Amino acid sequence: MIAVVGPGPIGVLDLQGGVQEHLDHLRRLGVAGRPVKRAAELDGLAGLIIPGGESTCLSRLLTIFELRQPIEQAHRDGLKLWGTCAGAILLARENLGETPYFGLIDIAISRNAFGGQLDSFTRAARVPAVAREPVPLTFIRAPKIVRAGSGVRVLLRVDDYIAAAEDDRILVTVFHPELTPSLAFHRYFARKCGLNPDGAADAGLDPDWTPLSWTRFSHRA
């Protein structure tokens, strides 16, 4: 494993969605990660990933597990957040046609903007702030970010929508980096959290990765 200098670990919200896939990518970077499903497990984290899944289901589970206010408080205290797909929907300040949930980053997002599951797709794109080389992207029932506020930096714009954006403490992506062999976005978020994973600013393609690689690390707390 690669030695990591700085705070940590990074948590992955463990209620629904691609939890183990994110933990697998963090392990490949040598970054300590842990699943989070209780408020006490937020203690000591440098960052928290809110994974893709189904945003309505996730919002209900966050309420059932009494995690909404603890996450909001931890964020106010300095916790960095990354929302992928459904996670980005939950973090958006404006959710077109629906009630926002956390509302912590000044973006407007349109849920299921591409249509249903059959409208999922993959592509590659250059994201200069994240990697020098094109990064593979996987979109599954993806939303579109249709507006970014003045304090939000656009990292990737595709056609008529924003696919990745950030402010000083939150990263949002409408695609699923954990479902590709690229470690670039996980490395970028780790550095945003004050960690120092090794590796150049490239696409970070892991030749040993397969879509089922995460199963060797699968565990539930």
| DSSP per residue, 169-218 | SEEEESS-GGGSSB-HHHHHHHHHTT------SS--B-TT--TTGGGGG-
Q: Pick the catalytic residue: 85, 166, 186, 193?
A: 85
How do 33-36 and 47-50 pair as beta strands? unpaired
Q: How far apart are CA 151 and CA 32, in angstroms?
A: 30
Query: Is there a catalytic annotation at residue 176?
Result: yes
Query: Is there a catalytic annotation at residue 178?
Result: yes
Q: Pick the catalytic residue: 75, 166, 178, 186?
A: 178
Q: How far apart are CA 21 and CA 177, in angstroms?
A: 9
Q: Pick the catalytic residue: 22, 176, 186, 193?
A: 176
3 state DSSP class of 49: strand
How many CA atoms are closer than 13 Å to the CA of 10, on its beta-carbon side?
A: 34
Residues labelled as active-site residues: 85, 176, 178
